[in-house]
Every structure is written in structure tokens, then in C-alpha cells.
Chains A and B, each alone.
Chain A
């Protein structure tokens, strides 16, 4: 092989312990995260008689099942409460550091990893959760795994993987007013499809990516999995280094200087070849929203619900008809005329401080017409938002200000659930049938659009609020 290496290939090569006869690589894992849905992996580990090889490389936090108000009393179901407590028991039994319910570092695993400096550039990082792709925003090769692979990582600090293909998505140009990282990723998934990047690791590059904040990059990489990608990746730059400096678990002293020198080498060589190349003009992207039951069902908010009759592919047409039936929508309906029943602002996609600032900017001086809640991504985000007074803006607008957790994105705590037939404007990542509750209907969008929708009572272009508020 001639030519340079991609960023992904550099990280892969640095972690490759050995290659089996049949071509699979055994990779070293720098960082492993667990959460309150990991009990079955511990069950598997212990049944097989294994122990945790490197407990200090794994960190736990409670997020999937935690209640978001009224403390543990807010979680009435004993089996779900047991999941929150089992994480702490499992972690304690194996000497794993855990930020359990109520801990000042607790939060959604993909929010706390970066904000605590546990996620570092060049790391190989895994977690038993598909949105582990989030951590690629810092230049880590990060991917989701199932319970068996979690048990394998706990036992050996390694993982077997077949080498994925590479795909570069270049976003060049300036994003328009009101166009966020969420709009960029929804636009991209709409373009390449929910299986468009299956088997690939995506590296995002271009001036549109360089311009994004770390929060925006985390949003972008988070939803790489919704295009089927094994991981999303952004080369670390000065923003990444500035973001990490001084974080609780980030290296310090000589280790910091050494690490920064290494991180500066983590870029794709100019002559590196990718298996696929996709180019997007950032200027072509509008505030984007989904109409169906797959994240690929994304359209500009100014557009109308598409007509399946215009779809030439029969299977795709059948899929659209099923989605429209589930969503109770008719082709040709302007997206902005769709009324919604509630608004959820949160999730590992959009619950960071910048997201909450964008929401506050829209809500300030307004009252919401429909029930809405803001669920911060972590205790640290919650404290930061309260220090800035964002919580008061939310409450004055009639929005509920909750405690951190996955909440209504995955509807697993049994109480933060969208009711049957209800329509929810959501800043989360999946509009799958039943995702937010049985028969619940989800429209994915940016925090700004969700806030503007809460004020209007129907889906609305957030640029109107930004202009009106200016």
C-alpha cells in the first residue's frame, strides 16, 4: 500500500495488538464506559467466571433508567429502580469508579465522557450504547457494542474487530443563520440514508466542521450511527485542546504536554485515500426536521411532507406509506402547519450547555403553548445552566427544568414517556416507531426549532423567532 494514512487508520494501527489468521484485529481499549443497562454484561462475565482486568479504565454513570424529577421517588417501578442500583453494586463489586444517581458527575454517558476529560483524542473507546459514536468529536475512535462485547472488554481490555471501511464527508462553506450541527447531520442522513454509511467510519472535515464548537461536533458525531456508521471522527484541533485543558480527568503537567504533541499528529495525511468521499455545501443546508419514522426522513422545515407516489422505488414507497400512516400525516402538508402535543429538549444529541443557551435565547420573554421539558445532559450542565440563569428563563416560559438523564429520548424510566398517538417535537436522535413511547410520534429537530415550536404550538422555522427577537 502506498500513500498516507487516514486519521482512523492511524488510531487503528496504534491499537492493533495482533491480527488473527482470518483477518480480525485484536484492539486495545483505552477507555470503557458503562451505564445502568449493563447488568446483563456483568451477569455474563460472572457466569463465565471472569474478573475485570483493568477496573481503572472503565467508568460508570446512571442515565438510561434514572428519574428526572423527585429524586429516586420519581422512579416508581421497582424493576427500573433496581437497574439504577445494580449499576452501583456491579461497579463496587469490581472496583469500577461509578457516578451513580445523585453524584455531582452523573449524567448521560456521552455527555460526561467529554466534559470530564475521560474521552481523549486518539483513544479507542467503547461503550454498550450505539451513540458512543459521539466521542469521535474529540478525535477518538469510539463505537457502540453489545453486552457480549462489553463482557469481553471488561475481562480483557481488548476487542476483536474486522477493519471497517473509511468514508470522508466534507462540509465546506458557511452555515446560514439558524442552521446548527443538528440540521447538518439530519441533512446528511437524509442525503445518504439510514444505512448509507454501514460498515464505514466517517471522518468529517472541511471549513463547516472547523467552524463548529465542540458541542456542535459532539452532536454531529453522535448521530453518525443513524446513517449506519461504525463511528464518526473529527481530527483534534486547537478547539479540542482548549476544550480539554483543565478538565477533571484530562492529563496534566508533563503528561498534558506530551499528549498535546501526540494529538497534533492525529490528522489524515493529505495523500490518504478514503473508500468513499461525500461533499456537502454547508450553505445548502436549511433548518431540518423529520416527518417519518427513520432519521433519513428529513426535509427542510420550509418543505412539505413528501408524497410516496413520487417515489420510484417500490420498497421505499411502501416504507414511506407505512411511516405516514404511523405519523398520521398526509402528503403535501406543510411541515410548519403540523401541530404538536409536547416538546422534549435533551438527550445525548442535544443537552449540552450550548444547546440550552440556544433554547433560552428563543424562549426569553415568551410563554410556551404546549407542555415542554428541558433535561440537561449532566449534573455539570445543570449547574452551569443554573449559574447562567437559564433555568429561570425556562421556568418563566412555562417549561419544566429537570434532572439529568436519557429521559424521553428512550422512554426507559417508565415515566418520561410520550403518550399513545401524541406528537412530540424532540431534540433527540431517533424517530423510530414506539421509541418515545408506544404509538408515540416523533419529529427530530434542533434545540432552537424545538423551543420555537414550544412557543408556536406547531413546527416552526426557528429563523422567524431569531429575526423577531433581534
Chain B
């Protein structure tokens, strides 16, 4: 997993709430292998009509949107299905951070596992960013170390993030490797736990 420290890049806005993971990646693409890539499936049915024609009004089809590394959106982004493909599609399309009013819990965990930084800001701060990016392709700077999102004019917003997620993202660390160093602790716990709960054996 690539470490995430500072992201300076083009931001695009998706001014919608409750964007579920079925919208992010339709279920008909889920059988692909991870190595096949999911960039072309991202927001597929919002970006293209059934004949494959691009909807020019969709923000991700706009000028310079293919350069975008930061997505700005509203509340409950990534609600619904647990499909990690939603995060993979954003990764594969070049996104490194998503700024939203709130996230679905499973999506947020999946993002942490894949070096995609989910940032929660206050609604008025998100609306400020959306107004900024709607005027045309705009660059933002996201700094995980200092936990700040900065606009080109110097305006900046601080964000909170779970400290474990922050550390793993900064280091690009996989959880499995960290857990494997605790195997003795796990073995000891398991023996005691199964002694108390033998029906779980």
C-alpha cells in the first residue's frame, strides 16, 4: 500500500448525498480480478448512457477531470454494499482522497486499507469547497500529517481522523503484517476464550 502524506491535485465535486457503492461500481463488474482494474467502472451508469455515450454534464466527464485526484462530495458517501471494488475503482481512476460530510462505515474502513484518504469536514466547509471546484478545475492540497485541507487562496480547514487509520495511511502499512507480530498474544487469548466458550471451538 502506497503511503499517503500530502496530496496536491485537481479536485472534482459530486454534489450529491447518499452516493451508494452500487453507484460507484455497478454489481455487474464485480467478478473481475483485482489486477484487471476497475477505473472504467467508476460511476459507470452516471457517466455513460446504456449506449456508452458520455454524459457531458456529469462532473467526472468535465475538462481536466481525468487529472483529478481528490473527490469532494456530500453526506453518507459509500453507503450500502461492502464491495471494496468501490475503493479500487476510485484508486484505479487516480483518486487519492475523498472529502465528504460523512461516509458509510464499511467504505471508510475499505478506503483505509487501500491508501485512499477519507476526509470528513463540516457541511459548510464542504459547500465552500464545492463552490470553489464548481467554478472550474481547481487544485487543493490535502496534508494528512497536519490534518488540513488548503485552498489555493490559503483558506484551510482542519479535519479529524481516527489515529490508527492515520498512522497506517502515513506509513502505508498493511494490517495483516502488524497483526502477525501479535500471534503469541492471539494464541493465548484464544486458548482462554475457548476455555470459557467451548461451544465456539
Give A residues with C-beta under 8 Å from B. 14-15, 17-18, 20, 22-24, 26, 28, 30-31, 37, 39-40, 43-44, 48, 50, 65, 79-80, 82-83, 120, 122-123, 128-130, 144-149, 151-152, 155-158, 160, 162, 164, 194-195, 198-199, 225, 228, 230, 251, 255-256, 258-259, 262, 294, 296, 315-316, 318-319, 322, 410-412, 414, 420, 430, 432-435, 438-439
Contact = CB atoms under 8 A, between A and B. Distances in A.
Interface string B11-32: 0000111101011001110110
Interface string B166-180: 110000001110011
B41 interface: no
Contacts, number: 179
Interface of B: 15-18, 20, 22-23, 26-28, 30-31, 33-34, 45, 50, 74-76, 79-85, 87, 102-106, 109-110, 113-114, 162-164, 166-167, 174-176, 179-180, 182-183, 185-186, 189-190, 193, 197-200
B105 A43 contact: no
A20 to B, nearest CB: 6
Given A22-B167, A30-B197, 5 more contacts: A18-B182, A26-B186, A146-B110, A151-B176, A152-B179
Nearest to B107: A146
Contacts of B87: 146
A171 B189 CA distance: 37
A83 B106 CA distance: 23
B176 A156 contact: yes
13 contacts: A23-B163, A24-B164, A28-B186, A44-B34, A129-B82, A130-B106, A148-B84, A160-B175, A228-B105, A256-B199, A315-B17, A412-B30, A430-B80
A313 to B, nearest CB: 10
A195 B113 contact: no
Contact of B23 (A23, A162, A315, A434): A434
B80 to A, nearest CB: 6
A434 B34 contact: no
Given A152-B176, A255-B198, A255-B199, A228 B104 contact: yes
Given A37-B30, A258-B198, A158 B179 contact: yes
Nearest to B22: A432
A162 B163 CA distance: 10
A290 B123 CA distance: 27
Given A195-B79, A198-B102, A146 B180 contact: no
A280 B22 CA distance: 30
Contacts of A23: 162-164
B186 A146 contact: no
Contact of B80 (A24, A130, A149): A130
Nearest to A123: B200
Contacts of A123: 200
4 nearest CB pairs, A to B: A195-B76, A148-B113, A146-B84, A251-B199
